[in-house]
Chains A and B, each alone.
Chain A
Amino acid sequence: MIPELNIALAILLLPLVSFVLLIFFGKRFMEKSGLVGTTFLGIDLLLAIYIFFSKLAVETRWDFTFTWIDFHTVVNNVPLKIDIGIMVDNLTAVMLVVVTLISFLVHLFSIAYMKDDVRYSRYYANLGIFTFSMLGIVLTNNYLLMYVFWELVGLSSYLLIGHWYEKKSASDAAKKAFVVNRVGDLGFFIGIMIVWMQFSTLTFDGIFSAIGHGNIPFGSNTWLTAAGLLIFCGAVGKSAQFPLHVWLPDAMEGPTPVSALIHAATMVAAGVYLVARTFPMLTADALMVIAYTGAITAFVAASIAIVQNDIKKILAYSTVSQLGYMVMGLGVGAYTAGVMHLVTHAAFKAGLFLASGSVIYAMHHALHHLNDHHTDAQDVRFMGGLKSKMPVTFWTMTIFTLAISGVPLTSGFLSKDEILAGTLAYSHFTGHSLIPIIGFLVAGLTAFYMFRMLILTFMGEHHDKHRLDHIHESPRVMTIPLMVLAALSFFVFFSFNPISASQGWFFQKMTYPTVAVPEAIASTPTVEFIEEIHHQHTMAMVLSVAVSGIGILLAFVTYFWKKISADAFERALKPVHTFLYRKWFFDELYDATAVAATLGTARLLAWFDGTIIDGVVNGAGWLTKLVSVFSGKFDSYVVDGAVNFTAYFAGLLGLSVRKVQTGKVQTYMIFAIIGFMVLLALYI
């Protein structure tokens, strides 16, 4: 095993150690729990950075595989055994840094944010297990372990979302996240089983090389597409893609730093990571479905985000929208752009969530101070004018907002640009022009609703002067993570050229994986596709800056200068507003269909239980009772009579036979010897 892989294992296990320490000895650490968790993650981050630099310096991939279970049989000329192991390639190395960095900053931020929480150490323990599972996903080299860690992420996100489980909405949200994820995971699992049936291996390498050699599941291209799409189902659940996106906004019931960790940088990124990992085995058809899923998700979420008033809900829908972007990017074939957007988005979206956490923290303290328990601390309509009071939060939030809006000089601009160029190239090759149209539309919408949020929160007038006096900047331990993430939102970290990322290290190192699917069903060959992206790049850049500019301008006109009345629009388009505000009625739809069907089935089963089964059981009971009455009569007359007669007979017999019992041992002995003699006589 390569020494670096030992370090990678250490990275994986340190958060687990933190979890074990805190879950079992949390009571002892109490206020120190945060420091313990943060220290572990700090070491983890340093190790990840070390791995990152040493991995990017070499071309080879680090892989360690061993046979876990050997069935000692051969199926389809392949020895049947389960290999598992860990692997570090460039994608993993980048993901390691992203996960540990965000996790570390969230740990740090939470020290202040969660200070007075009743389950402080439990919170940090859950953060530990979550980070462990997430690192497991990116480190493993096979679908089996990935599925295991996948489910662990599901579990730990359940624990984190439901951290304040006394609140019904929080426990409901946790359950919803868990159940909706299960729906996607079911598809994922079936996909894994198809792959296992065909290839008898679950390692990425083994599967891709088998496909590369022309080994197609059940000899059918459709099955290969199906396998890829089923595995993508897992990503749909985890990355909150349409139609399983409904859990993510509800999951905002968890603590805000958790939202930053789970819903910005890691858990939802797992789905995108899964698509990136599975990329070599995705056929053109599968990629098309993925691209449309991403595009629809991006548009639906962006349209909902426009009308939301809860600051976290806005961010949640913007996350869903951006995830749709990434998936769309991967779907159209812009692999590097999709992954890059994952990384850049992780930084600025985590920053946005932490900044909103900072705002909520300040609002909450101010409201608490004023004994105001009615005003919602997360509603942007009650904010405004916080700029002067919270300068650090404001400026960092502005940077994040610029980044997510795709304004030049930010990291978001680079990655979004590449995705848009990819969609243009895709439509050029395949004629699906709807996808770039949605892409640019969503870019404009994103800029609009993000600036709406920023303006409503920080600019203008606070509608309650008295409250404004009580709002203070958050403590240093919360603002430092914000500043770090703000710094990472600039272009220099990804490319020295502020308008194109293609010469930056990210594009140099994160090369396209070799596509394994047969040429006939593969998407556009990589080389041509990349060339086309270069052609479309300038156009994409100009267009995206233009739509972003329009979006930002509209936001300022509407909410800052108030030239256009938002309320008038809302009244004029009442049905549309309601439709968007109620989130396209997705929850109602699912309530009416899936939930209602489940409940109906359950009621039917309950009725069946209560009427038929209970009837049978009660009937059986009644019958048994009847039989037992008869049997009782039989007992008391026939059986008891027989028993009493036997006893009487035995007594009679005993009276006559007792004369034999003299009480003299020797008499008994004679009988014994007579018996012995009978044996002897029989022998003779």
Chain B
Amino acid sequence: MNMYEIVFYFFAFVTVASAAVVVFSRNIVYSAFSLLFTFFGVAGIYVLLNADFLAITQLLIYVGGILVLLLFGVMLTTNTVNIDIKSGSMNVIPAVSVVAVLAGLLGGVFWTSDWFVSKQMGDLPVQTTSKEIGNALITTHVLPFEVASVILLIAIVGAAMMARREGLKSQNPSSK
């Protein structure tokens, strides 16, 4: 067992374990914090896959942005009067069976597929990918890049729009 494998299994464990906590925890705040570790573990796996830029981006956006947003959502929507911080489950039995079969099928696909790639990880010189990604973003992928920027803009405007309408609604009780 070399160092790479040790690190891999560590991050794999962190990821899977924290994801399990996210999913099975009754307390939504626990789930949210556990999600932080999942993201962290995934970022570690990214590093193991020589995707340093992606790992940093993962931390920045998921942990710094999305997770914070989710926490805001939790806090804004939790009915503080009823202290209903727990979140129940439903459909448990069909969901469990479905997910079990799904996981089995996915595993089957992974095992049986003959990917057009090498099964082994070749040796690579240690180098950063940010330069290549930067190049690709402004050359071959410039169109999706620009489209993505437009989508982000629309998302921002849309979110702001809905937030504003919400404000208007609260001032106008007759629409309820």
Contact = CB atoms under 8 A, between A and B. Distances in A.
Do A and B associate with each other?
A: yes
Interface of A: 666-667, 670, 673-674, 676-677, 680-681, 683-684
Contact of A684 (B94, B98, B105): B105
Smallest CB-CB A-B distances: 10 pairs: A680-B105, A684-B108, A677-B102, A677-B105, A673-B98, A670-B98, A670-B94, A680-B109, A684-B112, A666-B91
Interface in B120-142: none
Given A666-B90, A667-B91, A684-B112, A674 B98 contact: yes
Interface in B1-29: none
B95 interface: yes
A17 B106 CA distance: 84
Given A673-B98, A674-B98, A677-B101, A684 B109 contact: yes
Interface string B80-124: 000000000011001100100110011011001000000000000
A681 B95 contact: no
8 contacts: A666-B90, A670-B91, A676-B102, A677-B98, A680-B102, A680-B105, A680-B108, A684-B109
Contacts of B101: 677
A670 B95 contact: yes
Contacts of A667: 91
A674 B112 CA distance: 21
A75 B108 CA distance: 74
A681 B112 CA distance: 12
Given A683-B109, A684-B109, A673 B102 contact: yes
Given A670-B95, A673-B98, A681 B105 contact: yes
A680 B111 CA distance: 13
Contacts of A666: 90-91, 95
A663 to B, nearest CB: 13
A50 B102 CA distance: 100
A608 B91 CA distance: 82
Nearest to A671: B98
Interface of B: 90-91, 94-95, 98, 101-102, 105-106, 108-109, 112
Interface centre among B105, B109, B112 (most CB of A within 10 A): B105
Nearest to A678: B105
Contacts of B102: 673, 676-677, 680
Main secondary structure on chain B at its contact with chain A? Answer: helix
Contacts of A677: 98, 101-102, 105
A680 B101 CA distance: 11
Given A670-B98, A684-B108, 10 more contacts: A666-B91, A670-B91, A670-B95, A674-B98, A677-B98, A677-B101, A677-B102, A680-B105, A680-B109, A684-B109
A684 B91 CA distance: 28
A247 B115 CA distance: 92
Given A666-B90, A670-B91, A680 B106 contact: yes
Main secondary structure on chain A at its contact with chain B? Answer: helix
A670 B100 CA distance: 13
Contacts, number: 27
B115 to A, nearest CB: 13
A327 to B, nearest CB: 77
Nearest to B101: A677
Nearest to A662: B91
A342 B48 CA distance: 105
A660 to B, nearest CB: 13
Contacts of A670: 91, 94-95, 98
B93 to A, nearest CB: 11
A677 B90 CA distance: 21
A90 B69 CA distance: 97
B11 to A, nearest CB: 27
B73 to A, nearest CB: 17
A677 B102 CA distance: 6
Contacts of A683: 109
Nearest to B111: A684
B142 to A, nearest CB: 33
Contacts of B108: 680, 684
A670 B91 CA distance: 9
Contacts of A684: 105, 108-109, 112
Contacts of B112: 684
A673 B103 CA distance: 12
A681 B109 CA distance: 9
Nearest to B95: A670
A579 B95 CA distance: 115
A680 to B, nearest CB: 4
Contacts of A680: 102, 105-106, 108-109
B72 to A, nearest CB: 22
B110 to A, nearest CB: 10
Contacts of B105: 677, 680-681, 684
Contacts of B90: 666
Nearest to B99: A673
A291 to B, nearest CB: 82
A233 B160 CA distance: 86
B27 to A, nearest CB: 20
A673 to B, nearest CB: 6
A680 B112 CA distance: 12
B5 to A, nearest CB: 29
A674 B102 CA distance: 8
A664 to B, nearest CB: 8
A369 to B, nearest CB: 86
Contacts of A681: 105
B145 to A, nearest CB: 30
A27 to B, nearest CB: 55
B39 to A, nearest CB: 23
A677 B112 CA distance: 16
A680 B102 CA distance: 9
Contacts of A673: 98, 102
B129 to A, nearest CB: 31
A674 B98 CA distance: 7
A671 to B, nearest CB: 10
Contacts of B91: 666-667, 670
Nearest to A676: B102
A622 B112 CA distance: 70
Nearest to B91: A666
A675 to B, nearest CB: 11
B75 to A, nearest CB: 23
B91 to A, nearest CB: 6
A684 B105 CA distance: 8
Contacts of B109: 680, 683-684
A681 B108 CA distance: 9
Nearest to B108: A684
A666 B92 CA distance: 11
B105 to A, nearest CB: 4
B106 to A, nearest CB: 7
A673 B95 CA distance: 10
A6 to B, nearest CB: 56
Nearest to A666: B91
A679 to B, nearest CB: 9
A681 B106 CA distance: 9
B108 to A, nearest CB: 5
A680 B105 CA distance: 6
A590 to B, nearest CB: 76
A674 B94 CA distance: 11
A677 B105 CA distance: 7
B36 to A, nearest CB: 25
A304 to B, nearest CB: 86
